[in-house]
Amino acid sequence: MGDGRTGGANRPAWLQQYELIGKIGEGTYGLVFLARLKPPHPAPGRRGPPIAIKKFKQSKEGDGVSPTAIREIMLLREINHENVVKLVNVHINHADMSLYLAFDYAEHDLYEIIRHHREKLSSSINPYTVKSLLWQLLNGLNYLHSNWIIHRDLKPSNILVMGEGDEHGIIKIADFGLARIYQAPLKPLCDNGVVVTIWYRAPELLLGGKHYTSAVDMWAVGCIFAELLTLKPLFQGVEAKNPPNPFQLDQLDKIFKVLGHPTVEKWPTLANLPWWQNDHQHIQGHKYENPGFHNIVHLPPKSPAFDLLSKMLEYDPRKRITAAQALEHETLVTRFPDRWDRGTGTWYAILSDGPTTWTKRAFTIPARGENCTVSYSSSRYYNRF
């Protein structure tokens, strides 16, 4: 399995419980394979659920399992939430001490859904769909933050969307390789490593901040929210690669052009950030006038949705909206879609991208305290409103 082949008589014993289909992904962490769990009592036509098996590369020192894999296992074993990816099993191939994690398989992610709408459909995502996706993302993130976990690498490709099965259209936050535990309420995290893919990296990190909180995740959610609206990254800077942890002037420039120049008056702790203090490449003197943010994201400036997005992209992390507060924002709780059927308690929310099969699932919006039913499309977004 380590080389991607799906056959062979020397498979480890644990692999016998899976029907291997093939390799479906590859990244810096290793490889991902698609498999099916074999049913306990095989019968014609009976198939087990699809499983994603993630094989980790060994540590850079070549002396065992990578710290990234250990961190992911430790966190995922303690996490249990509908909007967070589920770790099904952990396997070790003792022949080469390689590590495999088995997850429930998600057919889609937000990156491919956004790209599908941009390149294939040439149309925006239905606003009710955006609202549903955003609510689920915040719901999962609120669970993580409530348990003192910061994800630190939220981006569209790490937000999975379930395909076939009982969880059609359900969002799953995935990839916990950079996640960390707070250790104590309100205690900022200090870390010297680079976190968060650059387009979704909060300004306090870009300006050299080493102490930070869950607010970095909320900045990333704001970037994802804007991308769902416009079908393209909001702050698409060019990353500087050298030296290690370099000053990312182009990314800051992209942010300032959209949101305007930050000031110490609006963000008092700005003056304490290393890159701002050093005034590297004279960033304090740059002026950005009339950014017109609402025009970029196609939202009226006085709309509830624009207010929510602006609060997610607040420069000062201490003022940035939290996941719990965002879930109670009027954008997500004051109005149901036009097809909200109060008689039957059905909310027709279109949540995923593919065939026309529909399933219904019990759904609760905590801020309203009302139980309702959501109809999910299994793969394609259909505008039925």
Is-contact 250 237, C-beta < 8 A?
A: yes
User: Is 84 part of any domain?
Assistant: yes
User: Is 4 part of any domain?
Assistant: no
Q: How many CB atoms lie within 10 A of CB 16?
A: 9
Is-contact 167 279, C-beta < 8 A?
A: no
Task: Determine which one of 104, 153, 175, 353 is catalytic.
Answer: 153
Q: Tell whether 227 and 112 lie within a shared domain.
A: yes
Q: For the chain, first and last CA: distance in Å?
A: 46
Both structure tokens of 266: 């609006």
Q: What is the pLDDT of residues 39-59, one digit of tens each?
A: 877 777 778 889 999 998 776
* Separation CA 38–CA 53 (nearest Å): 14
* Separation CA 373–CA 164 (nearest Å): 18
User: Is 276 part of any domain?
Assistant: yes
The phi, psi pair for 315, rounded to 5°, reads: -60, -50
Q: What is the pLDDT of residues 241-275, one digit of tens each?
A: 877 677 899 999 999 999 999 999 999 999 999 98
Known binding residue 55? Answer is yes
Bridge-partner residues for 53, per DSSP? 33, 102
Q: Tell whether 243 and 313 lie within a shared domain.
A: yes
* Separation CA 66–CA 356 (nearest Å): 42
Average pLDDT over the chain reads 81
pLDDT of residue 184: 58
Q: What are the DSSP E strand ranges found in the chain?
A: 18-27, 30-37, 50-56, 87-93, 98-104, 108-109, 149-150, 159-161, 171-173, 180-181, 189-190, 211-212, 340-341, 346-347, 358-365, 370-377
Q: How far is CA 135 from CA 75, 171, 353, in A?
A: 23, 10, 17
Our CA angle for 194, 199, 200, nearest 5°, is 75
Instruction: Count each helix (H run) and each strand (E run) in the chain, helices first.
Output: 11, 16
Give which of 241, 145, 259 is closest to 202, Cα–Cα.
259
Q: What is the pLDDT of residues 317-372, one digit of tens each?
A: 999 999 999 999 999 885 444 444 445 444 444 433 332 333 334 343 333 333 33
pLDDT of residue 285: 82
pLDDT of residue 355: 29
Q: Tell whether 25 and 135 lie within a shared domain.
A: no
Q: Tell whether 189 and 245 lie within a shared domain.
A: yes
Q: Tell whether 348 and 320 lie within a shared domain.
A: no
Give the SS3 label for residue 32.
strand
Q: Tell whether 53 and 200 lie within a shared domain.
A: no
**Segments forming the whole domain that contains residue 27:** 13-104
Active site residue 153: yes
Q: Tell whether 166 and 259 lie within a shared domain.
A: yes
